[in-house]
Structure 1
């Protein structure tokens, strides 16, 4: 009897265990959770990052206008000099002598002009009474006129000699920072020589010359013509210095060249930057972030949501109807901060998957939610250039 009861209890336990296993096998796993960002249309700046070089606002080479031996150098290398400041003195003894000689010749010419003038007047009176011939009177008048011309010529010679003597004192043509002196006192310099004595550069404001491909300029103009892109007035420019840091002062685009460099296919753009601390040095290589225009109806997709397939095409995973995953092939224009401007494949209202993409396949059912690391908000366009630091 007890053996039958034990067998019955064992059968019941087995039946309950099998029923529980069956219920466990019928329970489906929950759909995977993914982080999504809802796409929306918004205004976005079209930013290009272009290579460029720093150039001084003004550059002047200090050169001798006459030949001679340098007697003194009157400036400190690397110092700030003002326009008109005395920089060099050239030995002026030969030029002082030349000036004195010209002044003496002028005095002789001025002395002879009175004598020839009086003689011409007397001959003019005498020819009326036939005391002298008409030829002699004409010769006297011509001599007086020649004496006056000699005075004019000697005045010019004195001025030229004075100018040459003034050139023995070489002055700064512009205000700015002067570089090293390539000639020392005692060196012989000559007018028209190939090497400058020194170079002065004005760097309180500097130019930044950047190059942009002609193809990019054509694309931008065509986009403006098609609509949806508006030109930026007084385009803003931000500099990335050689060490990767961002220059704290924003610049402005001044103009672009009207011709294309035939060897490189690029156009040169020029911007100006204030340089109060002298951080920007002429010849320095920089990269410029240029806001060229504003795209009014842009779709900005977080870069985490845009991937590449085996063929290199840009793709995106979106949550479609019934929370099923769809794969979209997209086209991107350029990055804006940590997002891409998407020109094809996504539209406002699409739910782009930015988290949980690992092992995700099209057609899978997912549970969309707010991403943990990515937010749907976008920094205002006016602050795009303020972002950054080291790249």
Structure 2
């Protein structure tokens, strides 16, 4: 049967070229490649070509660059299963902040983060970024404005490219260990963005010498400090991070940690446990989880108690779950600093968060 197309358009290449000129086709993809949303550069973020990792239509990672933070950085995204099937629906968003020595792939160790009721966004926080704009920018890791990257670039970039509900009632920030500190700080720094925050085994009291020492250990790359123990390839929580990246000066992130003549003023200004910082959470739903076993969670339990007490003094409601040795949380949890405890903690938290998102939608 003869073609009705003109002879000059009968070749496949010519047909595709003609369709492209008409705006009817884009880049040719393999038939078995899952289709994910298209992202447009903006807000200072530029996507790295051919660096996208697609595991499924609801689990993929894009890679971006920004002048704010040296090097390419990944953003892993979990979409609800019905995201593509319901193109008119908008979804709440939770930002998950990983721990020290971790990566965006750590989120896979907490299955509850893969929700059919919300979008989960996991931005790279660096091996020792501490979710802050560093005091010193000319270290071995280069530019390190992590707070600017996340709050002024990643959040609006996600809202521009995905069907989010872009208000604080439908946006949460949660993290563990180093990321627990970051989650509480981000909620304080931008209460206009986040209506919910959760810290799991977080280094949230910068007034504690032990937590300042943990920050210094990451700067000096002393492994065995506050690593996010366990990762996506070891969801049982038995893995250990391999390090915090290149050595940097101990004053690089927050300046001098010593409380002498105000030398530690940046630490105090950032401190998530400071009453002035906590007062910014008056309209934010705050949740804290921690065990109390081992050298690390013994300190995170103390920090969580301090934060809860100060919130109480300020008249700000919060929910603290100290699961002690882990027996009350899960048979897998030993009360220590690991995903064997954090995964069931998220399994407890996420349904509560989903219910809060739903209540905000219906009210």
What TM-score bracket applies, with the shorter chain setting the length? under 0.3
TM-score, normalising length from structure 2? 0.21
Greater Cα radius of gyration, structure 1 or 2 = 1
Greater RCO, CA 8 A, separation 6+: 1
TM value normalised by structure 1:
0.20
